[in-house]
Structure 1
């Protein structure tokens, strides 16, 4: 398996989506600011996204991809894999339709449950309910996108699924450009853009699957052996993802009880934090799951462990500098990207502090994405459920302990600490079972990567002091400041990492020789 190539395809196209996402957030921050209407939209957008992760990306992929791969690489080949897909789809669509309908009817009660802090402001509460009803069908659409993504990823065709989120960002960008007035009008346009983006993504993935030779027929739901096997695997994964998503909703509950703008601060900081998480962690996790599943099915656990080891090496090489950089230059980055219009310097200052705290958990977020395929490939979705349950309880306790004294910063700290707790527990369990251990050479490599990161931190601190007010200056000054940070940080980190052995120098030299030969 060419792990770098697979990750490059996913990560590169994910980066395209993130660029559009940043454009969307930059425009939204200036039009909406950290206002009550912005908070209302962000809660409404979080609801379908929460259940998307529950029913779609995480749990569905964990159950579907290994089982599809088994059939595709088995004696039945593509025909057996298509039959299995049709059987699962026959249950998937009615379940999503019923779930969406129930929540559309009960939306006021649900919004009250997770955002009761808005109940004292009737206008804000009603706007949140209204926007949530517009955005919630996105759940059905994006869950079907995840279904077709699972098929394409199992066939190691990653491009369409990686690019699809860009369509959502484009739809939301268009909504902001059409209705740039701010307030409830722009919030409503954004909500419509969310659902429109879901339709665009589904069209892309359905067509990509059809072009890959997977044209599925609609069947009547039947509890076949394949469907039973799927539910045996996916229900624990859904429970595990459910515990994690409940944790996300708990964060929303606490954030809505904090001063106005808190949801916005959390959103914009998370946008920057999600960039390396999606480009590195999600890309690697998506790339390695089908390959680990194949090695496990072939009875080659050593090869599966090798894939995970290479993934940890690559993820830390890219993730450690991102986490350290975000912690050091969070303030200038937030100011350069989001400050302006209705998003004030104080809004940027608070968001930067939140980002610096959340970024401290970034390596753990990424490692979880790399570690969990070791469980899912073995059809073990129960263990992540148990660890997620512990993390949920820890999150609640930390929120109650930290938020009264530290406000939004306490909420951010709880998020980071819980990510490390989840990472450590999952790794210890996988290691004790003998499925995967970080070898001494890899520990040494990570230590060298961290040393290179510290050298980068010193360089970034110097750039930050030198450029001073550029990050809140003109467009040209902001662009130059961000490019200086990225360029200096990247050059120092990778040069030092190369010199002290923080990366596979032989592989890099071979790659360079190949390029010269061309």
Structure 2
């Protein structure tokens, strides 16, 4: 989280300076400024993390014994490298998507890039947070040989994550085009680019729960130091993603590439869960599937309610004063959230109550 924060702050500062004319109107100077911003963000992160380590007395000792402890170094490399490959599976798939999309036309790769910016938003906010917290708790349980506790944490995190990301995915299906229009539609991003990006976003949106759930599912392996299994599964899914993308890009263009990524994301999760069940025994898969279906049904109902509200609100003159139907979109989004919350409680989805209790605890703790 700290790395992303510092990187974004430095990049925004560089963009602001470039827009103010500090790069003297040269594209090369502008790119050089962005590169320097990335280096500065890395240096700042190192300084801040070093300060935090010193504050908590966790500065590592650089002695001859630690520097030449090759067994410890090899253990770190053995655990870290497969983990890096496994965690970067989505990024590798995205890179493959872009490369394949370049063979379609000039708009296809750009459409995938703009659309996955919105897909990464819930993943970066929720999935990374759930994955980080669950990994630490699950690692502690696995070290104590409490595998049932580890599985409870895994599926508790996954259920809450699905409860959050499924409505976000459905919301993207209904209002993804509006978001793209509001965020990006200016300058060279014209109506053609908007339609191409919205088409890709539609198929990407189906995979948001799968992309997010992977961050938690792999923790079931990393917590037990089984780093290689997710890597092997990721490699298989990446190869399948490339095959499906090439097969679907001709009839569906960039939408086929996005659909291929979505399909392989679900397949990745299913394979990992199957292996976990084989290794650890019975898991609450049926109740998790029921949650998925119920949350999806509630989200779809909320989506249609919000869409009809949006269509009705678009004709109101007062709201039309806000550009790009922004007023109607905002109120329709409120309708979506309200209907979803109401139906979640009416359908007695436990995760809705859990979220409320969590918010209450945090609010009472602060007050």
What is the TM-score normalised by the length of structure 2?
Answer: 0.86
Find the partner of 1:500 among 347, 355, 366: 347
Distance 1:483 1:371 in 2: 34
CA shift in 2, pair 1:219/1:474, >3 Å: farther
**Relative to structure 1, is the Cα distance of residues 200 and 272 closer, same or farther in structure 2, using a 3 angstrom cutoff?**
same
- Choose the corresponding residue for 1:491, options 338, 341, 344: 338
In structure 2, the residue corresponding to 1:179 is in which secondary structure?
A: helix
Q: Against the structure 1 CA distance between its residues 402 and 371, is the aligned structure 2 distance closer, same or farther, given a 3 Å change threshold? A: same
Q: Structure 1 residues 442 and 240 mapped into 2: Cα distance closer, same or farther (>3 Å)?
A: closer
Counterpart of 1:273 in structure 2 is 119
- TM-fit CA distance, 1:334: 0.6
1:415 matched to 2:269? The reply is no
Cα distance, 1:273 vs structure 2: 0.7
Asked if 1:173 corresponds to 2:12, the answer is yes
SS in 1 for 2:280: coil
Give the match for residue 317 of structure 1. 163
How far does residue 241 in structure 1 lie from its aligned partner after superposition?
A: 5.1
Match of 1:208 in 2: 52
Alpha-carbon separation, structure 1, partners of 2:74 and 2:138? 23
3-state secondary structure, aligned to 1:412: helix
Partners in 2 of 1:440 and 1:416 — Cα distance? 22
Q: Is the 8 A contact 2:314 2:328 kept in 1?
A: no
Cα-Cα RMSD: 3.0
Closer, same or farther: CA 377–250 of 1 in aligned 2, 3 Å: same
Aligned counterpart, 1:299: 145
Instruction: Tell me: CA distance 1:338–1:378, structure 2 relative to 1, closer, same or farther (3 Å).
Output: same
Structure 2 runs not aligned, ≥5 long = 20-24
User: Using CA pairs below 8 Å that are at least 6 residues apart, which structure has the higher relative contact order?
Assistant: 1
Aligned residues: 356
Give the Cα separation in 2 of the matches to 1:481 and 1:452.
22
What are the ranges of 5 or more consecutive residues in structure 1 without an aligned counterpart? 1-161
Contact 1:168-1:200 within 8 A present in 2 as well: no
What is the CA distance between 1:185 and its match in structure 2?
5.0
Q: Is the 8 A contact 2:141 2:150 kept in 1?
A: yes
Q: Which residue of structure 2 aligns with residue 406 of structure 1?
A: 252
Could you say which residue in structure 2 is the equivalent of 1:361? 207
Would the aligned equivalents of 1:308 and 1:436 in 2 still touch at CA under 8 Å? no
- Structure 1 residue 261: Cα displacement: 4.0
Structure 2 residue 303 is the aligned partner of structure 1 residue 463: no
Counterpart secondary structure, 2:186: coil
| 1:172-321 pair list within 5 angstroms | 172-180=11-19, 186-218=30-62, 221-240=67-86, 246-321=92-167
Q: Out of 169-178 and 291-300, give the one that drifted further.
A: 169-178
CA contact (8 A) 1:330 1:353 kept: no
Map of 1:309-388 to 2, 5 A cutoff?
A: 309-388=155-234
My pick for the range that moved more, 503-512 or 373-382, is 503-512
Q: Is the 8 A contact 1:336 1:482 kept in 2?
A: no
Closer/same/farther in 2, CA of residues 227 and 187 from structure 1, 3 Å limit = closer
